[in-house]
Structure 1
Amino acid sequence: MSEFYEGLAEILEVDAAVINSAFDLHSGEAAWDSLAVVSTMALVDEVFNVMVDGQSLGKCATVADIEALVDAAKKA
């Protein structure tokens, strides 16, 4: 999971130390916008070898929500 967290921190332009399952994607410190969603889709594909839906990903509020999408995609 650390490779994913590090990549997500880079996408969101925050320190990797603050990324965890409870991290709020809509907090003032995160840059969760359409570019971040597309970049996260590519990161998920690279790290977990699954594709997630962009609209569903854009609705995620926390990193745990992204992790749930990834888990669902793995089971599909």
Structure 2
Amino acid sequence: MTTFYEGLAEILEVDTDAVTPELPLASANADWDSLAVVSTIALIDDCYNVMVDGKALVACGTVADIEALIDAARQRNA
């Protein structure tokens, strides 16, 4: 997850250390907007070679929710 967390930190414009499963995406220090969602879809594709649904990604409230979405997509592709 390190590469993913580093990329997510860049997208959200936060320190890498701030990216934990508990990080709320809509927090004051995270920039979770439509551009961040599209960038995260591309990051997930680059890191895990899976595509996630944009609407499902928008509904994620924390990094853990994104990780669960990735895991579900990886299982579908297995």
Instruction: Measure how far apart 1:53 and its partner are.
Output: 0.2
Q: Which amino acid aligns with 2:8?
A: L
Question: SS of the counterpart of 2:50?
Answer: coil
Q: Which residue of 1 aligns with 2:28?
A: 28
Instruction: Measure how far apart 1:15 and its partner are.
Output: 0.4
Q: Which residue of 1 aligns with 2:67?
A: 67
Query: Superposition RMSD on alpha carbons, in Å?
Result: 0.4
* 1:30-49 aligned within 5 A: 30-49=30-49
Instruction: Measure how far apart 1:75 and its partner are.
Output: 0.7
What is the CA–CA distance in structure 2 between the aligned matches of 1:59 and 1:28, rounded to whole Å?
Answer: 17
Pair 1:55 & 2:59 matched: no
Question: SS of the counterpart of 1:60?
Answer: coil
Q: Which amino acid aligns with 1:48?
A: Y
Structure 1: gaps (5+ residues):
none
Instruction: Measure how far apart 1:47 and its partner are.
Output: 0.2
Q: Which amino acid aligns with 2:17?
A: A
Q: TM-score, normalised by structure 2?
A: 0.96
Q: Which residue of 2 aligns with 1:12?
A: 12
What is the CA–CA distance in structure 1 between the aligned matches of 2:60 and 2:47, rounded to whole Å?
Answer: 18
